[in-house]
Structure 1
Amino acid sequence: MSDRIVGVGLILLAAWYGWSAGQYEAAFADPLGPAAFPQLLAPVIALLGLWLVFRPDPDPEWTGGRVLALQAASVVLMLAYALLIVPAGYLLATTILAAVLAAMLGARPLPAAASGAAVSIGTYLLFTWGLELSLPGGTLFAGS
């Protein structure tokens, strides 16, 4: 039953996600516009939800304890990331998020910090140079 509940939730999320993506507006001349990727992703999410509704796991196992706590902490980290990306800037916020997630997955502190920085810089270059998208530079340390 739990798979079906998650499946219905994914279908509703996909419907909202696809609809709200159509409301995006941008002041640049990209022929596809900012709604293209979310609108392509929404049907995929809905199909995965349908799969869970019609083909649920016959004997699902729920995790508990440490695994559940790590999952909850990951959700809290993602919410904090969403709130901090504009004031802290993409590079700092993404470095911290990636490093903490790597540490939560078992990486030692130095490799976790190095991978966080590498992910942050690599994706920054991909988005800014490769895709020509602007990312928040941060206002936290900017002078007034």
Structure 2
Amino acid sequence: MNDRILGIGALALAAVMLGYGWGLEAPFSYEPLGPRAFPLLIAAVMAICGVVLVVKGGGQVQTNPSGANLRIAAMFLVIVGYAVFFESAGFIVATAVMTMLVGRLFGGGWLWPAIAGVVGASAFFYLFDRVLDVVLPVGVLGGWL
């Protein structure tokens, strides 16, 4: 029954996203699809997943393993922190720190998640900001980029 409840919740959220995304319009045309394409696409995918969950149903619910609820709460706080510090710290710093903390939550050490965070955030910044011309905040690294 929990999968069906989640599916109904996903359908409701998809409907809200559809209503919000449908009204998005840019004051000037800067790309062929406009700003509404991404929220509508995400709403469509979410609605499809919701329908699958409602139709498929679910099996027996299993309890979380020991410590999982604490890691879930910590993950939520990491994501909230990422959203709060994204502009001021900048994409590279915020993404590198988030990647490192998520790596630690999933049992990694400090070194490899830190390396993956810095390399991945730098590569994605270069790809989006320089190649695809999607402006990302530079934050504290503003003088170096």
TM-score over 0.5 for the pair? yes
Which residue matches 2:32? 31
Q: Distance in 2 between matches of 1:16 and 1:139?
A: 35
- 1:17 Cα deviation (Å)? 2.0
Tell me, what secondary structure is at the counterpart of 1:29?
A: coil
Q: CA RMSD in A?
A: 2.2
Q: Which amino acid aligns with 1:2?
A: N
Give runs of aligned pairs for residues 1-144 of structure 1, distance below 5 A.
Answer: 1-22=1-22, 23=24, 25=26, 29-138=30-139
Please give the TM-score of this superposition, normalised by the length of structure 1. 0.86
Which shifted more, 126-135 or 59-68? 59-68
Tell me, what secondary structure is at the counterpart of 2:139?
A: coil
Q: Distance in 2 between matches of 1:62 and 1:107?
A: 24
Q: Distance in 2 between matches of 1:61 and 1:24?
A: 44
- 1:11 Cα deviation (Å)? 1.0
- 1:121 Cα deviation (Å)? 1.0
Q: Distance in 2 between matches of 1:11 and 1:64?
A: 28
Q: Distance in 1 between matches of 2:83 and 2:136?
A: 13
Using a 3 Å threshold, how does the CA distance of structure 1 residues 112 and 8 change in structure 2: closer, same or farther? same
Identical-pair percentage: 30
Give the length in aligned residue pairs: 142
- 1:55 Cα deviation (Å)? 0.9
Q: Which amino acid aligns with 1:116?
A: G
Q: Distance in 2 between matches of 1:77 and 1:27?
A: 35
Using a 3 Å threshold, how does the CA distance of structure 1 residues 130 and 13 change in structure 2: closer, same or farther? farther
Q: Which amino acid aligns with 2:49?
A: L
Tell me, what secondary structure is at the counterpart of 2:51?
A: helix
Q: Which amino acid aligns with 1:55?
A: K
Q: Distance in 1 between matches of 2:63 and 2:4?
A: 14
Q: Distance in 2 between matches of 1:140 and 1:9?
A: 40
Using a 3 Å threshold, how does the CA distance of structure 1 residues 24 and 76 change in structure 2: closer, same or farther? farther
Runs of 5+ consecutive residues of structure 1 not aligned to the other structure? none
Tell me, what secondary structure is at the counterpart of 1:127?
A: helix
Please give the TM-score of this superposition, normalised by the length of structure 2. 0.86
Checking the alignment, whether the CA contact within 8 Å between 2:82 and 2:95 is kept in structure 1 is yes
Q: Distance in 2 between matches of 1:114 and 1:88?
A: 18
Checking the alignment, whether the CA contact within 8 Å between 2:4 and 2:58 is kept in structure 1 is no
